[in-house]
């Protein structure tokens, strides 16, 4: 194997280890517990090595985790959507979204609650974020200005946060998802 390829592979492996360590620590103790010092120690690298991969430090690591999360969330929602339309589409995508948020709380937090320095709903929105929005729009049949998608997304986000905070009963999720299906699959005028 050429030296350049070996070097690139090592670089990618170290980067992956850093991101995995950040996710693990954030899942266990929250993002406030994720520090470059802790990450370097937990994976056996020095802080300069860590900064060699992520010159922006923790904010850059959180952004990378968030962007990976958007790719995964979009993939799951797209798979749930499939060829479905109407109420079935809305409900399938809602379940996929809420399941992702519940299964990956630290990633979800990085995506939507931590400052990651990326903009939504603008011309320079990162394509991975746009793709996630587009799949939600497809689920609700929003071919307008995106307002219906924003309301659907807001409902999903609120449900996910309230369930995690135990302010909503998780066992009542099927009823809430059915309500979303009824409201968002209805014709809009």
58-84 burial code (b ≥16 CB/10 A, e <16): beebbbbbbbbbbebbbebbbebbeee
State how far the Cα of 142 lies from the Cα of 26, in Å rounded to an integer.
Answer: 35
Q: Residue 122 pLDDT more than 90?
A: no
Q: How many domains does the chain have?
A: 2
Q: Do 4 and 62 fall into the same domain? A: no
Tokens of 14: 């170290």
Q: Do 78 and 30 fall into the same domain? A: no
Q: Do 49 and 77 fall into the same domain? A: no
Structural domain boundaries, residue 141: 58-189
Q: Do 9 and 50 fall into the same domain? A: yes
Q: Please report the pLDDT score of residue 187 as a whole number.
A: 64
| pLDDT, tens only, 133-162 | 999 999 999 988 889 999 999 999 999 999
Looking up residue 184, the CATH number of its domain turns out to be 1.10.357.10
Q: Do 118 and 184 fall into the same domain? A: yes
The verdict on pTM exceeding 0.85 is yes
Q: Do 28 and 121 fall into the same domain? A: no
């Amino acid at each position: 194997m050429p030296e350049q390829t070996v070097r690139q592979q090592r670089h990618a492996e170290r980067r992956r280890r850093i991101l995995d360590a950040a996710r693990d620590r954030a899942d266990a103790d929250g993002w406030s517990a994720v520090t470059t010092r802790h990450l370097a120690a937990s994976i056996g690298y020095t802080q300069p090595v860590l900064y060699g991969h992520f010159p922006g430090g923790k904010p850059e690591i959180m952004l990378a985790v968030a962007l990976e999360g958007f790719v995964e969330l979009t993939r799951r929602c797209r798979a749930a959507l499939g060829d479905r339309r109407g109420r079935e589409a809305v409900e399938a995508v809602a379940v996929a979204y809420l399941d992702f948020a519940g299964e990956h709380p630290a990633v979800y937090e990085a995506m939507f609650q931590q400052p990651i320095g990326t903009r939504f709903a603008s011309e320079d929105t990162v394509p991975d974020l746009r793709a996630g929005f587009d799949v939600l729009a497809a689920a609700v049949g929003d071919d307008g200005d995106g307002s219906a998608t924003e309301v659907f997304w807001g409902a999903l986000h609120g449900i996910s946060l309230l369930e995690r905070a135990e302010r909503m009963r998780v066992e009542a999720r099927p009823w809430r998802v059915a309500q979303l299906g009824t409201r968002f699959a209805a014709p809009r005028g």
